[in-house]
Structure 1
Amino acid sequence: MFKRIKTKSWIWIGLALVIVLGLFFYFVNLSSVGPSINKNKGVQLTQNGAGQYQTVIKDGHYLTSAARGLTATSQGNQVDTKDFESGLLNVAKSHFKTGRYIFQEGQYLSSDTMSSLLGRQSDSNQNGLNPKDNGKTDSSREPIYIQSMTEQDFMTKDGSNLRLAGMVVGVAMNTQDIYQKEQFGANYYQNISEEQRINYGKKIAPKIIKRIREQEGVAKNIPIVLAMYANAPEDSLGGGYFYSEATSKRSTSLTAWTPIDQKTVVFPKESSDGSSLGSDENTGFTNFKNDIANFFPNIAGATATGKFENGKMTSMKVTVTTQFYSQTEIEAFTNYVSSAAVKFLPSSANVQITIKTANETQALLVRKSDDKSYEVTMM
């Protein structure tokens, strides 16, 4: 009897010690830079999933960039904004490993500095990266080459603080400039050739690096990666793509430009598209579209965009427009789409299918690469 009581006592003592130690380490973690976001003051870090960056929380709020969303003109393809930012983060991962570096929204180029850089060069704006206005309104005019820029900062821990260890800056170059000959007049379109775009980007790259290194808090020897992006024309269903990158290790010098093999393909492909890229995927998508149209004739159409890297599709986004209003019809159609998608759409790429009317989304189907089935969400 005595031994049994003694054993239970040690068990309770052990449990008490575990609780005390647990509380001790919990409060120690709250007082330092770490993954907790419960503290209201100071800098904390979010938890990161596999292959993702930890991000910065300051005084209980996500640290945003004051210059995010600034553009040289109001026109542009709205599909590009999200693709530009997410694609830039993928570029960054090849330079700054997710397990070592912490991601922070751009904090060193202010909105005023970014607006100045995106403007035309003039007597009042010597920092403008776009060329001076030559006053022409025909094909000989100087176009707006640079539509937007995005800064991403990569930090490392320095004791209880964070230190800037590198930067990635995306530069979105226009493939088409939209302008008016008179205020509030008709829109005119000036195409920018691939050669013009690439050459102008290389020309202004050292100026961008110089301006960044002039900002307070940016060390002279941190690596700065410039990633060049080609905006899609305004009427394109697909977004643009990154096409080259270079790194400045110090001063304004840059390494040799390295091509980035990215492309966006719109499905179904037009007969005038002579490229073989996406031909197999186009056949599969056409069969998918015909199959669901034959089974449910009330669909108004289906389109898709595919992202390719190094000639391999990495993701596909499909939009199916319907005229269904009955919930049972929508559910039956969604179930059929999910089975047809498994049969006809790529299995080695991430696929997202949106089923919608002209006014509202009805269902969302998502499958990660190599998954066996789609995850379905009814709206």
Structure 2
Amino acid sequence: MLKRISKRGYLMIGLAVIIILGAFFYFINLGQVGTSTSKTKGIQLTQNSAGDYQTVIKDGHYLTSAARGITATSLNNTLDTKDFESSLLNLSKSHFKTGRYIFQEGQYLDADTVNSLLARQTDSDSDGLNPKDNGKTDDSRNPIYVQTLTEQDFMTKDGNNLRLAGMVVGVAMNSQDAYQKEQYGTTYYQTISDKDRIAYGQKIAPKLIKKIREQQGVGKNIPIVLAMYDTAPEDSLAPGSFYAEATSKSGTDLGDWSSINEKSIVLPKESTDTSTLGSDENSGFTNFKNDITNFFPNIAGATAVAKFTNNKLSSMNVTVTTQFYSQTEINAFTDYISASALKFLPSSAPVQIKVQTANEIQAILVRKSDDKSYTITRLY
């Protein structure tokens, strides 16, 4: 005989069903592409703001590139590192639109492959992009042309997975090669002419494309953009810039090379610099520097790096070095800097102002293009 189920019994059965269904849908969703950044299994995406890419989260962790930061030599301009990557990402947006593609740090060129590519060729190993050492120790030596590589992947959704839809690879070429004639000896500098740098970059490009396509998962028909970057000399106060790009649509074939018109200059300009590029920005920055110096005499210096794309200002990074430490001084000074910057610095491009002592950063002021005010972050 069947036993009547009480109200309490029905309640317990209902709760059990809810728990089972909840667990079922939880495990179903683990492998799906979503917008959460919680630490779960599977592939997820970050939320993106306007004009930025969504990025890939795997098993609750941001996907980083194992080959990031590998260089052919340890002697290079540290300003290039950040500019190289950020400028490459901006360049990528002209090929892979932020609303359609998902950004992923390079996952196909591993550390061993990149180290092999950045090495010199030898009699037993021809994989290196840099030429054989000819044994010379003067300007007739074969320099290190290729300093570093950066891979950026652009993905599209394929059901519950992501599919590689294209790649952009930045190639940083040396304009100056530092070397030693003997271990721990004096460092010498060999200048590489624009003509030689450009020619060598075009020469090794098909070889690099071939190596990229050999990596598992890349395939023969994924579009690959190569972007060539001219690194700055080691003692330069400004970073280098991208100067050319070409696209391989299939195989190792490359389309025509296109020039990229980018240049970074230091403000205030030297009196010997007679170029017209940045003249208006230089006048505005000089007025800004004089204004904040008159307000606070404890300024040790103020400089800016202005970046131009197609002869138009695209960003400005200002560094103000001070000699005071009290909280009230920092508050008063950063407030004054904000007002002075709005008056004298350009509004058509993003501006970042870093206020620092010789030992620490005290404040960062940021204004995006056409913003009406600066956002101030005080670091104390």
Aligned CA distance change for structure 1 residues 97 and 26 (closer, same or farther; 3 Å): farther
Partners of 2:171 and 2:31 in 1: how far apart?
Answer: 38
1:203 alignment counterpart: 203
Displacement after TM superposition at 1:287 (Å): 1.1
1:76 alignment counterpart: 76
Flag structure 2 segments of 5+ consecutive residues without an equivalent: 1-21
Partners of 1:30 and 1:148 in 2: how far apart?
Answer: 37
Q: AA paired with 2:212?
A: I
1:123 alignment counterpart: 123
2:270 alignment counterpart: 270
* SS of residue paired to 2:376: strand
Displacement after TM superposition at 1:31 (Å): 5.1
Equivalent residues in 2 for 1:41-56 (5 A)?
Answer: 41-56=41-56
Please say if residues 39 and 61 of structure 2, whose CA atoms lie closer than 8 Å, have aligned partners that are also in contact. no
Displacement after TM superposition at 1:288 (Å): 0.9
Please say if residues 31 and 43 of structure 2, whose CA atoms lie closer than 8 Å, have aligned partners that are also in contact. no
Partners of 2:243 and 2:155 in 1: how far apart?
Answer: 26
1:40-94 residue CA offsets vs partner (Å, 9 max, x unmatched): 2111111111111111111111111111110000010111111111111111111
1:79-111 residue CA offsets vs partner (Å, 9 max, x unmatched): 111111111111111111111111111111111
* SS of residue paired to 1:126: coil
Displacement after TM superposition at 1:26 (Å): 8.8
Q: AA paired with 1:48?
A: N
* Bigger shift: residues 34-43 or 90-99: 34-43
Displacement after TM superposition at 1:326 (Å): 2.3
Please say if residues 30 and 36 of structure 1, whose CA atoms lie closer than 8 Å, have aligned partners that are also in contact. no
1:171 alignment counterpart: 171
1:340 alignment counterpart: 340
Equivalent residues in 2 for 1:153-172 (5 A)?
Answer: 153-172=153-172
1:140 alignment counterpart: 140
Q: What's the TM-score once normalised by structure 1's chain length?
A: 0.91
Q: AA paired with 2:58?
A: K
**How many residues are treated as equivalent by the alignment?**
359
Identity of aligned residues (%): 73
Partners of 2:373 and 2:29 in 1: how far apart?
Answer: 40
Displacement after TM superposition at 1:290 (Å): 1.1
Displacement after TM superposition at 1:30 (Å): 5.2
Displacement after TM superposition at 1:173 (Å): 0.5
1:106 alignment counterpart: 106
* SS of residue paired to 1:355: strand
* SS of residue paired to 2:238: coil
Partners of 2:26 and 2:303 in 1: how far apart?
Answer: 51
1:154-183 residue CA offsets vs partner (Å, 9 max, x unmatched): 111111111111110000001110011100
2:19 alignment counterpart: none
Equivalent residues in 2 for 1:247-262 (5 A)?
Answer: 247-262=247-262
1:360 alignment counterpart: 360
Q: What's the TM-score once normalised by structure 2's chain length?
A: 0.91
Equivalent residues in 2 for 1:227-242 (5 A)?
Answer: 227-242=227-242
1:212 alignment counterpart: 212
Partners of 1:216 and 1:103 in 2: how far apart?
Answer: 19
Partners of 1:325 and 1:86 in 2: how far apart?
Answer: 32
* SS of residue paired to 2:245: strand
2:224 alignment counterpart: 224
* Bigger shift: residues 128-137 or 36-45: 36-45
* Bigger shift: residues 268-277 or 189-198: 268-277
* Bigger shift: residues 330-339 or 226-235: 330-339
Aligned CA distance change for structure 1 residues 75 and 342 (closer, same or farther; 3 Å): same
1:197-240 residue CA offsets vs partner (Å, 9 max, x unmatched): 11111111000001111111111011000000011111111111
* SS of residue paired to 1:81: helix
Displacement after TM superposition at 1:190 (Å): 0.7
Displacement after TM superposition at 1:311 (Å): 0.7
1:194 alignment counterpart: 194
Runs of 4+ in 1 over 6 A off after TM superposition: 22-28
Displacement after TM superposition at 1:23 (Å): 12
Partners of 2:335 and 2:37 in 1: how far apart?
Answer: 40
Displacement after TM superposition at 1:325 (Å): 2.0
Partners of 1:24 and 1:250 in 2: how far apart?
Answer: 43
Partners of 1:24 and 1:370 in 2: how far apart?
Answer: 49
1:269-311 residue CA offsets vs partner (Å, 9 max, x unmatched): 1122232110110011111111111221111110110111111
Please say if residues 103 and 153 of structure 2, whose CA atoms lie closer than 8 Å, have aligned partners that are also in contact. yes
